[in-house]
Amino acid sequence: MIKQLSKDLRNKISAGEVVERPSSVVKELVENSLDSGADEIKVIVEKGGKQLIQVSDNGSGISSKELPIAFERFSTSKISVFEDIFKINSLGFRGEALASIASVSEVKIISKIKNEDGAELLIKNGVAGNVVPAAALKGTSITIQNLFYNTPARRKFLKSPRVEFRKIVEMIRRYALSNPSISFKLISDGRDIVKLNNEDLEDRIVHVMDPAYRDQLLQLNFIKGDYAIAGFLGNLNLVRTRPGEQYIFLNGRFIKNRLLNSAVYNAYKSILNRGEFPFFAINIVLPHNEVDINVHPMKTEVRFKDEWRIYHVIKSAVEEAISPILKTIPDFEKPSFDNQFDFPITFIPKEGEVNPNQENFNLNTSSNVDIKFKPTIDRAKSYASQLASRPEPNSGKVDLENIWQVHSKYIVSPIASGLVIIDQHVAHERVLFEEAMAAFDNNPMAAQTLLFPEEMDFSPDQFSILLDVLPYLEKMGFRLKEFGNNTIMIEAIPSEMSWGNEKNIIKEMLDNFLESQKQYSSFQEALAASFSCKAAVKAGDVLNIQEMKELVNRLFGTKHPYYCPHGRPIIIQLSLEELDRRFERI
Ligand SMILES: Nc1ncnc2c1ncn2[C@@H]1O[C@H](COP(=O)(O)OP(=O)(O)OP(=O)(O)O)[C@@H](O)[C@H]1O
Ligand SMILES: [Mg+2]
């Protein structure tokens, strides 16, 4: 028999989409507070929100006569016609959050608007009581108790209070990062956990992430057409070996989007290793009609009109912002910050509390956070001071009088502040990569004509790739003539390349090119990377002094002399200080 579901059941079903756990209640309530124009938001939780969640704000409030309707499904003050969804400035608009929450918990709301007395309403078992007068300051306070009391299956899915609390902290962190001017307070089981006052974004990041983030952030500020990208990125000290500190906001709303995250990772590509994740908090400002937020009830997934365009804008923005890192010679000991300190938020001891037992509020499941945490700060500090005293890239130029090759692999030479070690293969690779990129841009590379043109056969599919990339190969200095039957004649090769190897290099480039295309943002980059890798001198190639000098000179003429197109360091500096330290002179 088909029948209509009761209102209560409908609400419970849709609550399943919006209210997953205590942190989702916090999310909805904090969003409502932000939408109400509040500049102070206080969140109190008990037992990880399983027992109690209370969110209070000093926003506009709700008038006493509207209190009951605020808890009706599909009732909202934020939109009135469908088109409003495409010019939405508020976080909420579906008019279902309060109804959903009230269907699976016990709710008390006290609210007061300007020029009216405060009012209170209780909702139990999905049934609203009477609105009664209550003493209150302007704003709203909503208290949720016994979440999922009437849906035991859902309640069973909740994790321990500690884990649920962590999720709440993470939720608060998102809103704190996207609203640095708003004061946030979080109190858990009677303890002040978070206390944030109006501040700028950089200070806010330091306060919600970790004090060690101070001085480790690179500012991002980029405008292209009607897109604006702003925020902060972490430098290499803030790189972690697991994800979790990547924040992308779209017009102030936290969103999850793998493609856009990968735009940031790819911009870092040349300096990050696989499995390393940089910190970032980025706000993308787009015209409202370029994005559809109404894709999912939680609104963290959105649909863009042109995702790839945004991808490229973000990538360029990040590349620009991290360029200072690329201009610094990597140290002999690369700072590796793989410590997993994820206890972030400032702990504020209660009055009279001198030696707080960290275990009680520690959000990390492992108890030795402190031990790991300390060196991180020290290292971060020393890195920051090193950066300040680091020679400018140009003063890092090597003294070409004294230059040696060791193990037919590395070039060693003194510089003012110590000595540098250069990997000859990646150095040449960087030079060739940039030259190839410039060649595509109308600055063709030099070619050497072969005395005896060579014939080369291809399989039909390889041949069709070859035809695609032929114009680019020609700009790199290859001259290839079609000879019919999937065959070409090689008439000239880049003068950079040694003879005799051309067939191999062309073959490998075509193989590689297809593989590498996924990693690079453009066809040209993939081709240039694959060419430079194949054509560069190898480890094991003996270089004479003249060749070494020329290579080093050309390397310093490139845009990024310190990192190869695949992200490995090209030059490592061993400072006098480091030497002194190793010999225990200091
Ligand atoms: N803290 C608050 N201060 C002022 N008004 C509030 C507050 N919380 C809720 N409201 C009012 O109650 C209405 C219903 O809230 P609810 O969260 O259910 O829906 P919404 O925010 O409009 O949309 P969504 O379901 O997308 O969150 C809001 O539109 C708003 O007018
Ligand atoms: Mg809402």
State the pLDDT at residue 518.
Answer: 61
- pLDDT of the residue at 118: 97
Q: CA–CA separation, 428 vs 410, rounded Å?
A: 12
Tokens representing residue 336 in the block: 């590796």
- If one compares 337 and 481, the residue with the highest pLDDT of the two is 481
Mean pLDDT of 333-337: 47
* Structure tokens, 205: 């990041």
Q: Which of 88-92, 117-121, 501-505, 524-528 has the highest mean pLDDT?
A: 117-121
Does the CB atom of residue 14 touch ligand 1 within 6 A?
Answer: no
* Six token digits for residue 72: 């009706």
Number of Cβ atoms within 10 Å of the Cβ of 48: 23
pTM of the model: 0.69
Is the pLDDT at 505 greater than 50, yes or no? Answer: yes
Q: Which of 33, 98, 108 to mutate to test the pocket of ligand 1 (most atoms within 8 A of CB)?
A: 98
Mean of pLDDT values over 502-514: 84
Residues in a beta bridge with 111: 119, 140
What is the model's pLDDT at position 521? 62
Residue 69: DSSP 8-state: H
Instruction: State the pLDDT at residue 333.
Output: 60
Of residues 458 and 499, more confidently modeled: 458
Give the number of the ligand closest to the Cα of residue 109.
1
Is the per-residue pLDDT at 473 higher than 50?
A: yes
Nearest CA to ligand 1 atom 20: 95
Q: How many CB atoms lie within 10 A of CB 170?
A: 16
CB atoms within 10 A of CB 157: 11
Cβ atoms 430, 561 nearer than 8 A: yes
Residue pLDDT, tens place only, 412-441: 998 877 888 999 999 999 999 889 989 998
Q: Average pLDDT of 217-234?
A: 92
Identify the burial level of 331 via C-beta atoms within 10 angstroms of its C-beta, where 0-12 means exposed, 13-18 middle and 19 or more buried.
middle
**Looking at 165-179, 392-406, 427-441, 467-481, which range is the least confident one?**
392-406
Out of 193-197, 213-217, 395-399, 468-472, which region has the weakest mean confidence (pLDDT)? 395-399
Q: Which of 54-68, 219-233, 480-494 has the highest mean pLDDT?
A: 54-68
Which of 31-45, 455-469, 557-571 reaches the highest mean pLDDT? 31-45
78 in contact with ligand 1, CB cutoff 6 A: yes
- Which residues lie at CB < 5 A from ion ligand 2? 32, 92, 97
Q: Is 28 in the pocket of ligand 1 (CB under 6 A)?
A: yes
Given pLDDT bands bounded at 50, 70 and 90, which one contains residue 397?
low
Domain chopping of the chain, boundaries: 7-194, 199-352+359-390, 404-573
The residue among 540 and 58 whose pLDDT is bigger is 58
Per-residue pLDDT, 270: 61
Dig out the tokens for 126 from the structure.
């999905």
Q: Residue 520: what pLDDT?
A: 66
pLDDT at position 387 over 50: no
**Highest averaged pLDDT of the listed ranges 40-54, 266-280, 283-297:** 40-54
The residue whose C-alpha atom lies closest to atom 28 belonging to ligand 1 is 76
| Whether the Cβ atoms of residue 243 and residue 207 lie closer than 8 Å to each other | no
Query: Average pLDDT of 110-121?
Result: 97
Pairing of strands 40-46, 183-188: parallel
pLDDT at 396: 57
For residue 30, how far is its CA from the centre of ligand 2 (angstroms)?
Answer: 8
Lowest mean pLDDT among 152-156, 266-270, 435-439: 266-270
Lowest mean pLDDT among 198-207, 246-255, 384-393, 448-457: 384-393
pLDDT of residue 289: 87
Query: Among the ranges 362-366, 400-404, 425-429, 499-503, which has the highest mean pLDDT value?
Result: 425-429
| The predicted structure's pLDDT at residue 565 | 64
How crowded is residue 50: how many other Cβ atoms within 10 Å of its Cβ?
A: 21
CATH for 7-194, among 3.30.40.10, 3.30.565.10, 3.40.50.300, 3.60.20.40? 3.30.565.10
Confidence of residue 125 (pLDDT cuts 50, 70, 90): confident
pLDDT at 347 over 50: no
Nearest-atom index, ligand 1, CA of 142:
1
Burial (0-12, 13-18, 19+ Cβ within 10 Å), 192: middle
CATH 3.30.230.10 fits 199-352+359-390, yes or no: yes
Percent over 90 (pLDDT), the chain: 49
What mean pLDDT do residues 517-521 have?
Answer: 63
Question: Over 70: is that where the pLDDT of 384 sits?
Answer: no
CA proximity to 186, closest of 200, 176, 198, 199 = 176
Q: What is the mean pLDDT of residues 44-67?
A: 97
* Separation of CA 99 and ligand 1 centre (Å): 10
Residue 236 has pLDDT above 50, yes or no: yes
Q: State in Å: Cα 97 to ligand 1 middle.
A: 7
- Whether the per-residue pLDDT at 562 is higher than 90: the answer is no
| CB crowding 334-353: b at 16 or more within 10 Å, else e | eeebebbbbbbbebbeeeee
Q: Which ligand is nearest to the CA of 31?
A: 2
Q: What are the φ and ψ backbone dihedral angles of 42, each rounded to 5 degrees?
A: -120, 130
Q: What is the rounded distance in angstroms from the CA atom of residue 564 to the CA atom of residue 23? A: 43
Q: Please, what is the average pLDDT of the chain?
A: 84
pLDDT band at 89 (very low <50, low <70, confident <90, very high): confident
What pLDDT is stored for residue 322 in this prediction?
87
pLDDT given at position 566: 62
- Write out the two tokens for 259: 């493609």
> How high is the pLDDT of residue 119?
98
Distance 28 CA to ligand 2 centre (A): 5
Do 61 and 112 contact (CB within 8 A), yes or no?
yes
Which is nearest to 45 in space by CA: 56, 36, 37? 56
Give Rg (Cα) of the chain.
30
| Test site for ligand 1: of 18, 27, 32, most ligand atoms within 8 A of the Cβ | 32
Q: Say which CATH architecture domain 404-573 belongs to.
A: 2-Layer Sandwich (3.30)
How much is the pLDDT for 556? 86
Q: How many other C-beta atoms can be found within 10 angstroms of the C-beta atom of residue 308?
A: 11
DSSP letter assigned to residue 411 = E
pLDDT tens column, 350-368: 444 443 333 333 333 333 3
Identity of the amino acid at 87: K
Ligand 1 touching residue 57 (CB < 6 A): yes
Atom of ligand 1 nearest to the CA of 59: 3
Can you tell me whether residue 518 is helix, strand or coil? coil
Name the closest ligand to CA 113.
Answer: 1
Token pair recorded at residue 90: 């508020």
pLDDT at 355: 36
Nearest Cα residue to 424 out of 563, 548, 554: 548
Lowest mean pLDDT among 33-47, 326-340, 441-455, 508-522: 326-340
Looking at the CA of residue 18, tell me the nearest atom of ligand 1. Answer: 25
pLDDT number for residue 365: 32
- Report d(CA 29, CA 64) in Å as an integer: 18
**Ligand 1 neighbourhood includes 58 CB (under 6 angstroms):** no
Q: Is the pLDDT of residue 197 over 60?
A: yes
Average pLDDT over residues 135-155: 94
Residue 383 has pLDDT above 80, yes or no: no
Q: Indicate if 404-573 has the same CATH topology as 7-194.
A: no
pLDDT at 343 over 60: no
Higher pLDDT pick, 246 / 524: 246
For ligand 1, is residue 67 a contact (CB within 6 Å)?
A: no
